[in-house]
């Protein structure tokens, strides 16, 4: 996976990134060393098993977070030139970025924060201090997925601790992505009474495979990006 432009140290020093990591650390500490320890105890098999499972989820979340934050989301190849006969460009005007002084491939957009064009740009995420684009979309999705699982896990542990144990409340107990042209095309289709389908929408299965890869065994590995190409061309639907 390509590294992002600029200083990695400067990116890590971003207040939002520091805040996100701090929240992750706080949730982990509270869940394992406060709620779980108070509910089951970390010295027995059940408590240790839950602690190990939650630690694995948090570690996976943090690793994918680092991958998404440190990776270059996708730079337009210097050799790229628009093809007038490209089927992906039918009905679209030539897309030229006045700020970068280069042509933009399909689904490429200029980020005002990063001040450059990003391949298949989804959005600029302040929490990773980076754009979410072609090269780090998978690691970002995995990060969000693990964060969701971890949050639910933590909430369940908190509820069990709250309702199945006796608390001494007198003791302080912590205590408690879409694009503008797609939007216009959808509006025009609805206005004319037609059913709209995005030109790059290949169906649920293929859409997932384009991001996560064809091998389901590698879906949860943020560094398994061998299926990615140069990010300038995408398959389009026949409908």
Residues 63 and 18 in one domain: yes
Q: Which of 20-34, 44-58, 125-139, 170-184 has the least mean pLDDT?
A: 170-184
Range of the domain at 229: 201-238
Whether 60 is covered by a domain: the verdict is yes
**190 within 8 A of 196, measured Cβ to Cβ:** yes
Whether 211 is covered by a domain: the verdict is yes
Residues 104 and 183 in one domain: no
Residues 146 and 67 in one domain: yes
Residues 86 and 160 in one domain: no
Catalogue the active-site residues.
125
Res 127 pLDDT > 90:
yes
The residue-averaged pLDDT of 119-141 equals 94
Q: Which pLDDT does position 3 carry in this prediction?
A: 60
Res 185 pLDDT > 90:
no
Res 175 pLDDT > 50:
no
The SS3 call for residue 225 is: coil
Residues 49 and 103 in one domain: no
The residue-averaged pLDDT of 91-118 equals 85
Residues 18 and 65 in one domain: yes
Count the domains in the chain: 4
Residues 69 and 144 in one domain: yes
Residues 158 and 61 in one domain: yes
Listed in sequence order, the residues at least 6 apart from 103 whose beta carbon sits closer than 8 Å to its beta carbon are 80, 81, 82, 94, 95, 96, 97
Residues 114 and 146 in one domain: no
Res 213 pLDDT > 60:
yes
Pairwise pLDDT comparison (50 vs 173), residue with the higher score:
50
User: pTM (2 decimals)?
Assistant: 0.74
Share of the chain above pLDDT 70, in %: 80
Residues 108 and 153 in one domain: no
Res 161 pLDDT > 70:
yes
Res 82 pLDDT > 50:
yes
Distance CA 174, CA 35 (A): 9
**122 within 8 A of 133, measured Cβ to Cβ:** yes
Q: Which pLDDT does position 163 carry in this prediction?
A: 76
Whether 93 is covered by a domain: the verdict is yes
Q: Which pLDDT does position 110 carry in this prediction?
A: 94
């Amino acid at each position: 996976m390509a590294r992002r432009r600029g200083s990695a140290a400067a990116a890590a020093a971003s207040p939002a990134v520091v805040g996100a990591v701090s929240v992750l650390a706080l949730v982990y500490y509270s869940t394992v060393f406060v709620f779980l320890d108070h509910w089951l105890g970390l010295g027995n098999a059940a408590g240790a098993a839950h602690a190990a499972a939650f630690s694995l989820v948090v570690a996976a979340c943090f690793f994918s977070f680092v991958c998404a934050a440190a990776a270059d989301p996708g730079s337009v190849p210097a050799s790229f030139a628009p093809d007038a006969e490209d089927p992906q460009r039918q009905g679209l005007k030539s897309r030229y970025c006045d700020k970068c002084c280069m042509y933009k491939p399909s689904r490429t957009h200029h980020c005002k924060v990063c001040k450059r064009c990003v391949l298949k740009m989804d959005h600029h995420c302040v929490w990773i201090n980076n754009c979410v684009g072609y090269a780090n979309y998978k690691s970002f999705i995995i990060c969000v997925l693990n964060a969701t699982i971890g949050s639910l896990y933590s909430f369940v542990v908190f509820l069990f601790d709250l309702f199945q144990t006796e608390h001494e409340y007198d003791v302080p107990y912590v205590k408690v992505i879409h694009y503008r042209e797609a939007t216009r095309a959808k509006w025009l289709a609805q206005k004319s009474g037609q059913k709209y389908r995005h030109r790059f929408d290949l169906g649920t299965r293929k859409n997932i495979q384009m991001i996560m890869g064809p091998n389901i065994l590698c879906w949860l590995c943020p560094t398994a990006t061998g299926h990615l190409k140069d990010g300038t061309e995408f398959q389009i639907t026949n409908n």
